[in-house]
């Protein structure tokens, strides 16, 4: 069942023209000139209940503008948005009770009071029934081990602790959709893993639909199954992450650890990167030859001790994809 539908979404900004020189500066002070910039142009997509979708793109691609329209902060110039049957900008009061939002660089917690007190204030804002509030708060706090942390003023919390509290705050009212913007920004490796596991757990247990925007591709790889790429204000890709991997992980590096290798086999569709005392590194085209075939050929001329396969990481794959889509100049 689709719970979010975006059709032909467009948003244009007016940007003041600034020319150098004192004369031009005085002229623009009297009468300003503007250029129109299309931040988002004719974007359409749908989301099903329980999906986790990664929304990515280079800086200035239109991601933030899209998220602001989906959350009701901005109103589109044209196009339609329907989320849970509501228009985000027109049905604002009712709509915000059904969504949760976490912005990595902005807080919904009050800085000088304990996080627990912020939760109490949010209970009143969202008009959460007492029993539901206590159950949700206790469950979320327990999962993230925040029992003592929520008693401290927010300003005294580490970035990782604050982000965990932000996640609790966004889920107290049982939202059906969760918007996450850079949820792991600035976190250490351990905190990132904890936050990612928590997001996966909440999605699985509560069937919360999640839209994730991030520059950390490991967030995308760990959490999302579907990827939407925006560039220059337009939707450039919408599909399964597995499809991207299959397309762009064309080449692999195979490391063969051996003893008594006297001669390197001549194998088509391979390239020797380097050879050391007891290891040879081979670049192979997986579309044309398999790792097992390489291993078999080497087993004929030496004793193989171990085989290691090195694939491209998700960051390298996305970089290649950006280049193909003509976005590399923005990176």
Which helix (DSSP H) or strand (DSSP E) does residue 76 occupy?
none
Which pLDDT score, from 0 to 100, does residue 22 have? 64
pLDDT, tens only, 118-138: 999 999 999 999 999 999 999
Q: Say which CATH number the domain at 293 has.
A: 3.30.70
Residues of the chain scoring pLDDT < 50: 329-331
In this structure, the answer to whether residues 275 and 240 fall within a common structural domain is: no
Task: Assess if residue 303 is contained within a domain.
Answer: yes
The pLDDT value given to residue 268: 85
Task: CATH number of the domain at 196, please.
Answer: 3.40.50.300
Long-range pairs for 193-202 at CB < 8 Å and ≥24 separation?
194/144, 194/160, 194/164, 195/160, 195/163, 195/164, 195/167, 196/222, 196/223, 198/143, 198/144, 198/164, 198/167, 199/52, 199/167, 199/223, 200/52, 201/143, 202/171, 202/178
Structure confidence by residue, pLDDT tens digits, 57-103: 887 788 889 999 999 999 999 999 999 999 999 998 899 999 999 98
Residues 6+ apart with CB under 8 A from 174: 132, 136, 206
* Whether residues 93 and 236 fall in one domain: yes
- Find the domain containing 98 and state its range: 2-245
Looking at residue 328, what is its pLDDT? 54
* pLDDT in the model for residue 331: 42
Show which of 210, 245, 280 is a domain's final residue: 245
CA dist 5 and 186 (Å) reads 32
**Residue 204 C-alpha from the chain's centroid:** 18
Residue-level pLDDT at 330: 45
Per DSSP, the three-state class of 106 is coil
- Please check whether residues 236 and 91 belong to one and the same domain: yes
Pairing mode of beta strands 226-231, 52-56:
parallel
269/304 same-domain check: yes
CA distance 305 to 257: 5
Q: How many domains does the chain have?
A: 2
């Amino acid at each position: 069942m689709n719970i979010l539908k975006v059709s032909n979404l467009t948003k244009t900004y007016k940007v003041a023209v600034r020319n150098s020189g004192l004369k031009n500066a005085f002229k623009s002070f009297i009468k300003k000139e503007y250029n129109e910039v299309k931040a988002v142009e004719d974007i359409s997509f749908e989301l099903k209940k329980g999906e986790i979708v990664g929304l990515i793109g280079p800086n200035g691609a239109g991601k933030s503008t899209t998220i602001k329209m989906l959350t009701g902060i901005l109103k589109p110039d044209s196009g339609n948005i329907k989320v849970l049957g509501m228009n985000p900008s027109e049905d604002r009061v009712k709509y915000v009770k059904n969504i949760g939002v976490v912005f990595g660089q902005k807080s919904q917690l009050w800085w000088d009071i304990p996080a627990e007190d912020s939760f109490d204030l949010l209970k009143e804002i969202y008009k959460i029934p007492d029993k539901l509030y206590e159950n949700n708060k206790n469950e979320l706090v327990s999962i993230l081990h925040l029992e003592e942390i929520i008693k401290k003023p927010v300003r005294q919390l580490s970035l990782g602790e604050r982000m965990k509290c932000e996640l609790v705050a966004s889920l107290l009212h049982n939202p059906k959709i969760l918007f996450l913007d850079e949820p792991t920004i600035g976190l250490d490796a351990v905190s990132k893993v904890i936050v990612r596991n928590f997001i996966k757990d909440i999605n699985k247990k509560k069937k919360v639909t999640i839209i994730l925007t991030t520059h950390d591709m490991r967030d995308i790889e760990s959490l999302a199954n579907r990827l939407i790429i925006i560039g220059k204000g337009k939707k450039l890709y919408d599909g399964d992450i597995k499809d991207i991997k299959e397309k762009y992980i064309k080449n692999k590096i195979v490391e063969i650890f051996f003893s008594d290798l006297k001669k390197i086999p001549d194998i088509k569709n391979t390239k020797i990167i380097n050879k050391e005392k007891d290891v040879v590194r081979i670049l192979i085209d997986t579309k044309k030859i398999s790792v097992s075939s390489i291993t078999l050929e080497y087993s004929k001329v030496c004793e193989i001790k171990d085989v290691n396969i090195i694939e491209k990481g998700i960051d390298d794959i996305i970089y290649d994809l950006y280049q193909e889509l003509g976005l590399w100049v923005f990176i």
